[in-house]
């Protein structure tokens, strides 16, 4: 197991932190989801609820948005915390291994009961893959999800399997 940082968490938090894979596994069991396929048949692996991360970094009460950043392919989504507090999770493991890139790993954000692509703010497009940084802020942060069908189609064309 490596000690490399997988997830940087910053912004309006009092406990800015960098998480290794081991740090994620050490988050309190009450926030761990051993098998996400129990929540929805389309996903597999183990996750940690977003709330566990919020607690670990002590998010400021003024923070209203969570922005999920993927440097790997420059993809970003910014979402209202309240709307997803009980639905957002970070999928980070396959049994005792880090999540594979083919599954959006090492860390993939996932929202239970999301809507279809561009059907509201909490849509399938917000399930950001390869998340390496999470930022909390008072105002909405950077978001470059595709806005229409053409932009969406172009994005999927450039995605590497």
Ligand X SMILES: Nc1nc2c(c(=O)[nH]1)N[C@H]1C(S)=C(S)[C@@H](COP(=O)(O)O)O[C@H]1N2
- Residue 36 to residue 65: CA distance in whole angstroms: 24
Q: How far is the CB of 62 from ligand X (least distance, A)?
A: 28
Report the DSSP beta bridge partners of residue 47. Answer: 33, 91
Q: How far is the CB of 126 from Mo ion (least distance, A)?
A: 8
Q: Interface with ligand X includes 70 (CB under 6 A)?
A: yes
Pick from Mo ion, ligand X, none: which does 67 bind, CB < 5 to 8 A by kind? Answer: none
Stretch that binds Mo ion, among 36-44, 87-95, 120-128, 130-138 (CB under 5 A): 120-128
Q: Interface with Mo ion includes 117 (CB under 5 A)?
A: yes
List Cα–Cα distances, 114 to 13, 21, 55, 94, 137, in angstroms.
26, 26, 23, 22, 22
Structure tokens given for 136: 């909390």
CB 24 within 8 A of CB 89: no
Q: How far is the CB of 127 from Mo ion (least distance, A)?
A: 8
DSSP structure class, residue 6: E
Nearest-Å Rg of the Cα atoms of the chain is 15
Give the interface with ligand X as residue ranges (CB under 6 A): 70, 73, 75, 104, 117, 124-125, 127-130, 146, 152, 155, 159
Residues at the site binding Mo ion, with contacts judged by CB under 5 A:
117, 124-125
């Amino acid at each position: 197991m490596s000690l490399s940082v997988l997830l940087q968490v910053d912004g309006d938090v009092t406990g800015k932190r960098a998480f290794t894979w081991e740090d994620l596994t050490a988050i309190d069991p009450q926030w761990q989801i051993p098998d996400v396929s129990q929540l929805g048949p389309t996903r597999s692996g183990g996750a940690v609820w977003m709330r566990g991360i919020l607690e670990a970094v002590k998010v400021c009460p003024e923070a209203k948005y969570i922005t999920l950043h993927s440097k790997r392919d420059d993809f970003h989504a910014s979402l209202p915390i309240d709307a997803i507090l009980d639905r957002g999770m970070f999928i980070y493991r396959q049994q005792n291994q880090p999540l594979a890139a083919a599954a959006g790993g090492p860390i993939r954000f996932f929202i239970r009961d999301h809507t279809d692509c561009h059907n509201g703010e909490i849509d399938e497009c917000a399930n950001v893959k390869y998340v390496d940084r999470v930022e909390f802020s008072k105002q909405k942060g950077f978001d470059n999800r595709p806005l229409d069908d053409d932009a969406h189609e172009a994005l999927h064309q450039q995605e590497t399997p």
